[in-house]
Structure 1
Amino acid sequence: MLNPQSISVVEEKEDVIYTPFSLFQQWVMNRSFPSKVMYGQREVTVTIQPHPDRKEQYMLSTTLCNKLKLLKDQQHHIYESNGTLHIGPVVGIFTAGFTGGTYKPIGERSSMFAKLLSEAMQLGVTAYVFGTHHIDWNEKKINGYIFDKSGWSQHPLPFPTLVYDRLPNRRIERLPATTETKMKFEQETNMLWFNPGFFDKWSVHELLYDNKHVRNYLPDTLNSPEASQIEEMLHRYKNVYVKPTNGSLGIGIQQIIKRRKDPFYYCKFRTNGQNRLRRYTSLKRLLRQQFSKGLEGYMAQRGIHLLSCNGKPIDFRVHTNRNRDGDWEVSAIAAKLAGTGSVTTHVTSGGKILTLQDIVNEMGKSKSITQDIKIAALKLSDSLSEKMEGVIGEIGFDLGIDHEGAVWLFEANAKPGRGIFSHPNLSASDKRTSRLLFEFSIYLYEQLIKRQVAVKR
């Protein structure tokens, strides 16, 4: 893949593209010229000419730029294959929750998307944010939002080569307008959707359990458990976490505790913005009160005696991304310290974000835990991307380490939140994770252009 290049625009009424002089000479020698140019899903038949000043630059006519809906004033990757010049990649970030304005067009998430689009531009990737209502199916264009040094603006842009799925929640994903959009885009032959959908916790558990190389990272877990099964888990492990299989952000997670010499059962949970603890005389009463609709759609997972700091348990958020070679790498690691009385380490439940260095220094832990976490995250990423349908480009893992040093997987997220990057010492990781998304996009773009049937997973 070539490095991104600048494209000049010249006032002309013909669909013409002026190419670097040496490239034109090469085509003359080969007696073979491209006849088309493609940008996103826009394809136009063109006339190829050498640069009039013999410069090693590309120059497009205004007529051609308008037909392609080319985003000017930024660099682009240009790649020749099978008689077509491909300009791109064009990445559409599919989401919802638009405000209708250009100050904060996606509400409070606008700053997150602005960072993503800034990284894309630096890499020569055309990227824009759009929702279902921005699509013009007849004209095959999208009135997408871009972000540059002037701020947010809306532009008519071509259908993308790649769609990065960043829908905010499952409810919006299930809306008829959303499912219809996905169905229509699937019919586009040169389009690839990556990070589609949300992970189902139980499905992830089953897929990973089938792989003997990562099975040791999985805590004992039961799907839609019976009361007797939870009782047995409590007898073995003293505490059990009950989670919605389709939950996110820690919402709905409850912890059941049964100490050996204590006759009572305890339940930790969060409601109305507060961490709560209730005591019950029997497990039957606890389950009837806390899960009045039953345990269908929940999974029970053994509690792990985690590393702790000042008596508060710690787990780790690990981001993995695929890079320009299509390979997985660990792009960010942060420690999360549970809030007082909290059932999870989520910041919304009073948790605190720490850097891994904080943990290594303050707790006197060996730096080998960093390596153990990275090895686990990469093995899990490889296993999930091999088994999951569709192309996965990023994953957020919640991992824990017990007092014996074993690594445990609590959750895998297809659309990892970016809350850990509020920590001032994680700004470089924030930038790295954003940049890798578009390095991977360049890799996918190259695979599509080469017409490779199987994209490396």
Structure 2
Amino acid sequence: MPKTKIAVQVISSGMLPEDTLMLGESFVKQWKIPQGQPLTLKFGGFRQHVKAIAASRFDGLRISQSLARKMGIGSNATLRMQYKADTATLSLGPLIGVLISRDYPQLADRPFGSITMFCKELVEACESQGAYVYFFTPNLIGNNTSSVEGWIYADGWKRTTLPVPDVVNNRLTSRKLENKPNVQNFLKEVKQKYRTSVFNEKFLDKTEVFDALKHDNSLLRYLPESHLLRNYTMLKAMCSRYSNVFLKPVRGSLGKGIIRISRADSDHYQALFTTAAGTQKQTYSSLLKLFSSISTKMKSNRYQVQQGLNLIEIQKRPVDFRALVQKNAAGSWTITSIVARTAGNHHFVSNLARGGTLSTVSEAVLKSNLAPGVSRTDTSARLKSAALAIAKGVEEHIPAHFGEFGIDLALDTSGRIWLLEVNSKPSKNDNTPLNDNKIRPSVKLMLQYSRFLAGL
């Protein structure tokens, strides 16, 4: 099935009827496109009956202004084109829609706030690959799901009406927005009606991930003991088994709300709470009193209780690792990047939002207190192997479509690898590879996977 990139020129509607395409003669001959006969033009969810005429000494595609307006494309786009003779369909695209949390129309240069640069980077990657991308928010989703109001970049950011995309990348950053009825109805309808592929389609809860992976014997070695905290009896049992345990909000992110509990001495327990300013320490005369003090938090938040680990440290600051795992052009999981994150001063979590710092895996392992005799040379390869296995396990055991994961891993002082968390909406700041490439590998892979899904 031939496909190629082609330059699309938009010309006056008076010079070319809306139902007529002018196509370079070489393309018409190469693909055996019948001239003057009915064809279907496809662009995302947009369909229109057209006929093609060949143009000599021309190697692009010309369409009328009125047709371009219906398609929502700018004046000079380069798109991939594919012709299927069996259905007489000429497909352009892929058309990719990125669902983001909010926009700021009053900010002409930064309409998407802190992720504007990521969005512009994706536009540039799409231009080079012959794809077309737009950005839309829950507030821009209307009752009519045949089209979407979204943002495109054409000599500046502007809003326009576009067809339903071939692929939706769900980059919503809050469950509240994702669960809005108009968002859920839209995603359900475009999948059913237009066969749109939606990836990263849901958030993952911590307990959901660990409970799912417990059924995979090949992954058990990476899983610290972990349960949904239901009552005092469960907390007491975990504290009797381990010298320290972590309580993590089931739906938390960025290290917010994590509590570390440890026995201070035979009569006292200590709790460390994450706060924006650093770690807050509280000592209790009994575990029951500690549980009573946090039970108010449990009324509004469900917590996961997890085995504490003896993580490697650099100058008494814990280290963990963030692997960005993405689907590639063949639809297979691949490692995009893996970085070490060292906790900031006065913090026991390593998130960058909490003052953590990035380094390469080898640098962190070399500086760490990994036990003597434990190999430091194969750590990176072992972490990558674990991240890939976990990504495949989540995909196999949780029924949803994912295209990327941020997988947080830890290494204890004996060299054993542990899973801390799987994030289905990895931050574009927290997983940035340590280089300054204009278009990051993570952006290129997101586009390659979108092309794979669209078949273009």
User: TM-score surpassing 0.5?
Assistant: yes
2:273 maps to 1:269:
yes
The amino acid of 2:39's aligned partner reads: S
Measured after TM superposition, the shift of residue 346 of structure 1 is 1.4
Q: Deviations over 1:310-353 (max 9, x none)?
A: 11110001101111111111111111111233231112223222
- The match for 2:45 is 41
Cα 1:225/1:14, change in 2 over 3 Å = closer
Deviates more, 1:323-332 or 1:98-107: 98-107
Among residues 241, 265, 270, which one is paired with 2:246 in the alignment?
241
Q: 1:326 to 1:281 in 2, by over 3 A?
A: same
Q: Is the 8 A contact 1:13 1:62 kept in 2?
A: no
> Residue 324 of structure 2: SS of its match in structure 1?
strand
Letter in 1 for 2:329: R
- Match for 1:110: what amino acid? T
2:272 aligned counterpart, secondary structure: strand
Contact kept? 1:224, 1:297, Cα under 8 Å: yes
Unaligned stretches of 5+ residues in structure 2: none
Q: Which residue of 2 aligns with 1:4?
A: 5
Task: Call closer, same or farther: CA 1:31–1:4 in 2, change over 3 Å.
Answer: closer
Gaps of 5+ in 1: 450-457
Check whether the contact 1:421–1:429 (CA below 8 A) recurs between aligned residues. no
The answer as to whether partners of 2:38 and 2:49 remain within 8 angstroms in 1 is: no
Q: Which runs of 4+ in 1 moved over 6 A?
A: 29-34
Partner of 1:339: 344
Letter of the 1:4 counterpart: K
How big is the shift at 1:136? 5.2
Alpha carbons 2:45, 2:165 under 8 Å: kept? yes
Q: Is the 8 A contact 1:395 1:414 kept in 2?
A: yes
Q: 2: distance between equivalents of 1:273 and 1:33?
A: 69
Equivalent pairs counted in the alignment come to 443
Superposed counterparts of 1:50-449, under 5 Å? 50-53=54-57, 55-81=58-84, 82-101=87-106, 102-135=108-141, 137-138=143-144, 140-147=146-153, 150-258=155-263, 261-271=265-275, 273-294=277-298, 297-363=302-368, 366-420=376-430, 425-428=434-437, 431-446=440-455
Counterpart residue type for residue 291 of structure 1: S
Residue in 2 aligned with 1:452?
Answer: none
1:351-392: CA deviations, max 9, x gaps?
222222422453497231100010001111111122332321
The CA deviation at 1:214 is 1.4
CA distance in 1, matches of 2:267, 2:142: 64
In structure 2, the CA distance between the partners of 1:25 and 1:177, relative to structure 1 (3 Å rule), is closer
| Contact 1:322 1:328 (C-alpha < 8 Å) held by counterparts | yes
* SS across alignment from 1:379: helix
SS at match of 1:4: strand
Percent of residue pairs identical: 25
User: For residues 329 and 266 of structure 1, what CA distance do their matches in structure 2 show?
Assistant: 41
Distance 2:56 2:145 in 1: 33
* Match in the other structure for 1:454: none
Q: What is the rounded CA distance, in whole Å, between the counterparts of 1:307 and 1:384 in structure 2?
A: 26
Out of 359-368 and 390-399, give the one that drifted further: 359-368
Q: Which moved more, 1:110-119 or 1:164-173?
A: 110-119
Distance 2:70 2:318 in 1: 58
Does structure 2 retain, via aligned residues, the 8 Å contact 1:38–1:44?
yes
Q: Which amino acid aligns with 2:28?
A: F
Question: Using the alignment, how far apart are the partners of 1:430 and 1:202 within structure 2?
Answer: 35
TM-score scaled to structure 1, two decimals?
Answer: 0.89
**Using the alignment, how far apart are the partners of 2:170 and 2:219 within structure 1?**
27
